[in-house]
Amino acid sequence: MIELSGATPRDLNGDRVVAAIEELAGLGGRVLMLPSPRVASPQLDPGELREVRAEADRYGVTLEVGIGEVHPDRLRMDEKVVLLAAGETLGATAFHTSFGVLADRLAGLASWSKQLDVGHKGLRELVARAERPLVMRTHEEMTTFELCRLAENVPGLQVGFSPVNVVTRLEDPLRALDRVAHLVHTVFVDDTWVVRTPEGLARRLRPIGDGDLPWQAIVARLADRHVEYVLDIHRAEFDMPLYDEDWLALQPDLDVPELVAVLRSARDAGAQTGPAERASWGRELLRTAGVGLADRSSSE
């Protein structure tokens, strides 16, 4: 049974932060993940940040904050240091990041390998500066194989496991989880179908419990770890054109048994559900602490 502990609203703005804290607390949530400290105060005014922290404390809500991507070609360490300091003023208990975006990976295998090789240097500095867990998401450009190799070079780096993303890299969610389970700090909860297309496969996001992700097994495999499960409503569909040899060449860690597992789970067709409807399902799961999730699977 998934017991959602919080949420990460993707379109949150400064005017809505206090309302989001109140709403989350009313639903029984304990963790609000802000996309950036700047949604609490665009100018990172210490007084405004402390006011938001006080509201979170009043409602018993813990704040965690995103600090953006850490891609070496775009990393501005001075800005990251400012965001870390603002997060500390907010009382953030963890900082969340991603490596880059899918276009970085698609720049070419040699280029992508170099990006990863260089990327660990900035990450090491951020981990040292953060004084809180630094959590890297399994984002759509990053395989869990690559993330594990990064973590070997960046002691202390933790993982935000997002299974709707690992399938876009043709990874079986349970095998992917096994690779990073010892590093997992947060699990981002959403759901998806994988559907067949003329070019290969595609991701079609679904309400939680209506998709095909093995959520009960994921929770069971993490039962011995203290992990935060946070509602995270994604948007992009993403194609996996596996019949394209050039695209396949950009997946050097592709594992045949995992590819077979993803193919086996694929449907002939299926439409993506809009984010508003999926968010409504998610809020209901927060309110009920996950009760009934196993009964919501669709036979469509």
Domain boundaries, the chain: 6-288
- What secondary structure does DSSP assign to 161-194, as a single string? E-HHHHGGGT--HHHHHHHHGGGEEEEEE-EEEE
Question: Would you state the pLDDT for residue 286?
Answer: 83
CATH of domain 6-288: 3.20.20.150
Plot region of 244 (φ>0 → left; ψ -120 to 50 → alpha; else → beta): beta
User: What's the Cα-to-Cα distance from 101 to each of 82, 274, 296, rounded to whole Å?
Assistant: 22, 22, 32
Question: Would you state the pLDDT for residue 11?
Answer: 79
pLDDT at 9 over 70: yes
> pTM higher than 0.95 for the full model?
no
Using an 8 Å Cβ cutoff, are 286 and 32 in contact? no
Question: What number is the average pLDDT over the span 233-237?
Answer: 90
Using an 8 Å Cβ cutoff, are 134 and 158 in contact? yes
What H or E segment, with its residue span, contains residue 7?
strand 6-7
Q: Is 88 exposed, middle or buried (0-12, 13-18, 19+ CB in 10 A)?
A: middle
Question: What number is the average pLDDT over the span 226-235?
Answer: 92
Scanning 91-239, the segments in alpha helix (DSSP H) are: 102-105, 109-130, 144-153, 163-166, 173-180, 215-221
* pLDDT category of residue 281 using cuts at 50, 70 and 90: confident
Using an 8 Å Cβ cutoff, are 44 and 38 in contact? yes
The two three-digit tokens of residue 45, written as one number: 């005014």
pLDDT at 237 over 80: yes
